[in-house]
Amino acid sequence: MNNVKILIADDHAIVAESLGMLIDMQDNYEVIGIVSNGWQALSFIESNPIDIIIADLHMPLLNGINMALRLREKSSDVRVIILTMSEEADDIREGLKAGIHGYVMKSAEKSELLQAIEMVASGHKFFSEKIVKKLAEIPNPENFTGQASLDDDSPLTARELEVMRLVLQNKTSQEIGEELSVAVTTIQTHRRNLMKKIGVNNSIGLMQWAIAHGFMESGS
């Protein structure tokens, strides 16, 4: 396996250098640059092959989300993980619109950051549980697509997809039943079945799974 090439963008030098040392200690990951703002990151990737940028949200000149947005406009294959202290719903929402692939708190354990890098490097998305809880508070998420592919041996039915969409809008089984004009017990059965198929135990796990597998697009 080729090393995953990572660029760190953070205007706090100690944080960036510590993060670089942590990542360089891992197999298959290589930090090939550290910059202090989004413009420098965009300039760096013009002449250096990069797989992932780990970027602070709040940086001078060009912040992490606006950097991600410019990458998206260029149809760049570089994937972006935001590493930040911000739990603000507006920041999370703007990150989704900009097409970020991960959102991790700076207060997270190092194992969570490494998990995020692994997930994003393998083509999935990763949002910390704390961030997923914030996402669940945002009503009627517009970024739900319901169109990502599932494993052939465990497809969700059209009704289960519809139930999942409504669960991700933080609706109760009673509310979903009323909207779909079916019994609450039927909705509860659909919820159990879809969670069993994808291997999660609660709504937070369901949202994490939906984000990771493309059912909630981060920017498209």
pLDDT per position as a tens digit, 28-85: 899 999 999 999 999 999 999 999 999 998 888 899 989 998 988 887 889 999 988 8
CATH code for the structural domain at 141-220: 1.10.10.10
pTM higher than 0.75:
no
CATH 3.40.50.2300 fits 4-137, yes or no: yes
User: What pLDDT shows up at residue 34?
Assistant: 95
Closest CA to 76 of 103, 104, 48, 95: 48
Give the model confidence (pLDDT) of 93-119 as tens digits: 788 778 888 888 888 888 888 989 998
CB-based contact 81:104 (threshold 8 Å) = yes
**In the structure encoding, which two tokens stand for residue 142, read together?**
């517009």
Q: Would you kindly state where each structural domain of the chain is located, as residue ranges? A: 4-137, 141-220
Kindly tell me if the per-residue pLDDT of 214 is higher than 50: yes
